[in-house]
Structure 1
Amino acid sequence: MSPDIWNPTWEDPFVPTVDADDEYAELIEAMRAAQEAVTRSKPTPRAAAAAAARLREIATAIAEFEVDEDDQIAGKRWDSAGHGQALIPPIHLDRMTDTTAIGRVTIGRFHSGRYAMNGGVAPLIFDEILARLANHHRPWARTARLEVVFRAPAPLHTELTVTARLVEQQGRKRFLHGTLHHGDVLLVEAEGLWIELKHEQTHNISRVLKEVAG
């Protein structure tokens, strides 16, 4: 587990994930549960309005603790599957080297695209695991291209295997390949390109990005 979960950093150790049971992990798990429950439900108007009011109360209470992006916890809980965010299905990382990674992911109804994984979820999964491998023990690089090819529908509520492999590096370019399998069945594969940032691009990157965003 992270040495200090309340003061995480953007430095990704890229190690196997563990089960986290601290307060912040519980918060994220509750968010995922709410997303799944809303997706699965057909509430009455009264129930929907009541739930919306309670969610707004929670949002208001948490907003009191808003911080700068560099100080937030979300996205930096590298020890836990999903590293502290509820956007994509949490990937459980099992084995990693400098050039490969293998993990597991299960797709729920929140990420469904009519009885199977929504096609737009696959790029999120691959951008997650390929980018982490691309940056493992290497200078920071950003996604330049990600191409996804669908081979078969990805089933819901079933543990799937996701892999990543660093194919080659040419100067600042890093080429990666990924797959998503259900047993021996290839569901999705991806090819990606990551470009290593120049020194001037990484220097005080937070300030530069804020200026670009206006």
Structure 2
Amino acid sequence: MSDRSWDDPVLPTRDARDEYAALVEALRAVQESVTRSAPTPAAAAASARRLREIATALDVFEVDEDNQPAGKRWELAGRGHASAPPLHLDEVTATTARGRVTVHRFHSGRYAMNGGVTPLIFDEILARLANRDRPWARTAYLRVDYRAPAPLHCELTVSAELVRIDGRKRTMRGRLHHGELLLAEAEGLWVELRAEQTGNLSRETEGVPS
């Protein structure tokens, strides 16, 4: 298991067979199955009851964000999160990263990858590269240009590049391909946080009107 730290080593991902990794894979399977199915009312109600039972069983193990493994299983594709397609990192250097991802119907936008999923993939790889062996920075902006529909059920390749560092600013660039076909390009800016900005934002804003 991860040490549950937010310090990302940004290494190539690997397969894991532990129980928590299996739990996340099962959750992804449920998401995909719900998307693909048209259950009868009785089957939908029965499945909903079983899922609520699982949620209740896990509620007793709730921890705060600093201690959760979700999002911190850095060695896993997807980091132990099930919201975005699991991104496999294959090669990482100080200024570049390359990975692959396969998208199924849970992330579909009518026979192709939903356009909102593309920024999730880019933000994952670009942010991790932007923060590799550097003080923590957050996304300031991310622009995505779409060149072609991204197919489902196919392995797509994604690349990232650190273009330049200017003080606290880190300019990043990414590309998503299916074979030789360019599907999307991204450009983003990550800004290094000041010392007073690196704490728990939810605690810092308690009681502050939204």
TM bucket (normalised to shorter chain) is over 0.9
Shift of 1:8: 1.9
Find out whether 1:22 has 2:18 as its counterpart: yes
Counterpart Cα distance in 2 of 1:126 and 1:120: 11
Report the secondary structure of 2:140's partner residue: strand
Find out whether 1:125 has 2:121 as its counterpart: yes
Find out whether 1:112 has 2:121 as its counterpart: no
Find out whether 1:212 has 2:189 as its counterpart: no
Instruction: Report the TM-score when normalising by structure 1.
Output: 0.95
Instruction: Report the TM-score when normalising by structure 2.
Output: 0.96
Matched AA of 2:67? D
Q: Which residue of 1 aligns with 2:175?
A: 179
Equivalent in 83, 98, 105 of residue 87 of structure 1:
83
Find out whether 1:73 has 2:69 as its counterpart: yes
Counterpart Cα distance in 1 of 2:96 and 2:150: 22
Counterpart Cα distance in 2 of 1:133 and 1:211: 27
Shift of 1:209: 3.4
Q: Which runs of 4+ in 1 moved over 4 A?
A: none
Matched AA of 1:161? T
- Which deviations, in whole Å up to 9, do the C-alpha atoms of 1:48-68 show, x marking residues without a partner? 000000000000000110001
Equivalent pairs: percent with the same residue?
68
Report the secondary structure of 2:89's partner residue: strand
Counterpart Cα distance in 2 of 1:35 and 1:162: 23
Counterpart mapping for 1:29-178 below 5 A: 29-178=25-174
Which consecutive residues of structure 2, in runs of 5 or more, have no partner in the other structure?
A: none
Which consecutive residues of structure 1, in runs of 5 or more, have no partner in the other structure?
A: none
Report the secondary structure of 1:174's partner residue: strand
